[in-house]
């Protein structure tokens, strides 16, 4: 929308001009030649006032980055690993064998890494070349360890979560590499 006073382009839904503060869609001011000259008391002007209250300063908002399906699968995998990791840490601290504590630590660290690869990719820019290999390691490690935990009593707890995290990582990697659509 163009201001009738200064000619500045403004957004369609604005009430006041961002440049001069004039009311948008107000009739233009009459030129000095067209204005009637009267000697007596001035009559009220038939058009609305030109200036309104000052508006808030316009700040460009940073766009929100969208997630593709592969990144969503990596995020789900990281959350599942964190959940299983915390459960295994709790079981290891409660006095179960050392492998529960080890599984809890490894699952928590890899879960945080998996989430960080999606949420904070700039933080991991130094290892960007390694993320594919790291994702393969995470997927295979937790597919195998999750199966062992699901079917073995002394390996770990939440084996189903670990298998689901591994499968989610495999699917995300296959989507990212173009193996599936």
How far apart, in whole angstroms, are the C-alpha atoms of residue 95 and residue 101?
9
Count CB-CB contacts under 10 A for residue 131: 17
Q: What integer best gives the mean pLDDT of the chain?
A: 81
Q: What is the pLDDT of residue 66?
A: 77
Q: What is the pLDDT of residue 93?
A: 86
Work out the pLDDT band at 85, boundaries 50, 70, 90.
very high
Instruction: Residue 135: name the closest of 180, 105, 169 by CA.
Output: 169
Q: What is the pLDDT of residue 111?
A: 93
Q: What is the pLDDT of residue 42?
A: 67
Q: Given the structure tokens 């609305």, which residue do they identify? A: 48
Q: Check whether 102 has a pLDDT greater than 80.
A: yes
CB-count burial class (<10 Å; 0-12, 13-18, 19+) for 79: middle
pLDDT tens digit sequence for 34-55: 655 556 666 766 666 566 666 6
Q: What is the pLDDT of residue 133?
A: 86
Return the SS3 of 36: coil
pLDDT tens digit sequence for 112-161: 999 998 888 888 777 777 888 888 888 898 899 889 888 887 888 888 98
User: Which residues fall within 8 angstroms of residue 34, CB to CB, at 6 or more apart?
Assistant: none
Q: What is the pTM of this model?
A: 0.61
Count CB-CB contacts under 10 A for residue 134: 17
User: Which residues fall within 8 angstroms of residue 75, CB to CB, at 6 or more apart?
Assistant: 67, 114, 115, 118, 119
Work out the pLDDT band at 10, boundaries 50, 70, 90.
confident
Q: Check whether 76 has a pLDDT greater than 60.
A: yes
């Amino acid at each position: 929308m163009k201001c009738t006073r200064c000619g500045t382009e403004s957004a369609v839904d604005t009430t006041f001009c961002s440049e001069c503060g004039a009311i948008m869609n107000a009739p233009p001011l009459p030129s000095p030649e067209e204005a009637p000259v009267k000697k007596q008391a001035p009559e009220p002007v038939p058009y609305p006032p030109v200036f309104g209250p000052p508006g808030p300063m316009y700040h460009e908002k940073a766009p929100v980055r969208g997630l593709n399906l592969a990144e969503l699968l990596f995020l789900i995998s990281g959350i599942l690993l964190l959940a299983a990791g915390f459960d295994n840490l709790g079981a290891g601290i409660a006095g179960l064998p050392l492998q529960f504590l080890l599984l809890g630590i490894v699952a928590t660290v890899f879960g945080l890494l998996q989430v960080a690869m999606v949420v904070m990719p700039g933080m991991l820019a130094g290892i960007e070349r390694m993320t594919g290999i790291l994702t393969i390691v995470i997927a295979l490690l937790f597919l195998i360890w999750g199966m062992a935990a699901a079917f073995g009593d002394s390996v770990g707890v939440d084996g189903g979560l670990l298998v689901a995290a591994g499968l989610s990582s495999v699917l995300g990697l296959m989507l990212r590499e173009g193996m599936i659509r």
